[in-house]
Amino acid sequence: MDLTPKRASESATEMVQVVLPNDANPLGVILGGTVMHLIDIAGAIAGHRHTRSLLVTAAVDGLQFLHSIKVGVLIILKSRVTCVFKTSLEVQVDVHSEETLTGNRRLTSRAYLTFVAIARDGCRVEVPPLIVETDEERRVCDEAHARRAERLKRRNTAMS
Ligand SMILES: CC(C)(COP(=O)(O)OP(=O)(O)OC[C@H]1O[C@@H](n2cnc3c(N)ncnc32)[C@H](O)[C@@H]1OP(=O)(O)O)[C@@H](O)C(=O)NCCC(=O)NCCS
CB atoms under 10 Å from CB of 119, counted, come to: 11
37 CA from centroid of ligand 1 (Å) = 19
Binding site membership of 18 for ligand 1 (Cβ less than 6 Å): no
Q: What is the C-alpha R_g of the chain?
A: 17
What is the C-alpha to C-alpha distance for residues 14 and 9, in angstroms, rounded to an integer? 11
Atom of ligand 1 nearest to the CA of 114: 25
Atom of ligand 1 nearest to the CA of 89: 34
Residues facing residue 78 across a β-bridge: 14, 94
116 CA from centroid of ligand 1 (Å) = 6
% residues pLDDT > 90 (the chain): 98
What is the C-alpha to C-alpha distance for residues 121 and 119, in angstroms, rounded to an integer? 5
Identify which of 58, 23, 63 has the alpha carbon closest to the alpha carbon of residue 151.
58
Binding site membership of 48 for ligand 1 (Cβ less than 6 Å): no
Binding site membership of 37 for ligand 1 (Cβ less than 6 Å): no
Name the residue at shortest CA distance from atom 17 of ligand 1. Answer: 88
Q: What is the pLDDT of residues 71-127, one digit of tens each?
A: 999 999 999 999 999 999 999 999 999 999 999 999 999 999 999 999 999 999 999
Q: What is the pLDDT of residues 33-47, one digit of tens each?
A: 999 999 999 999 999
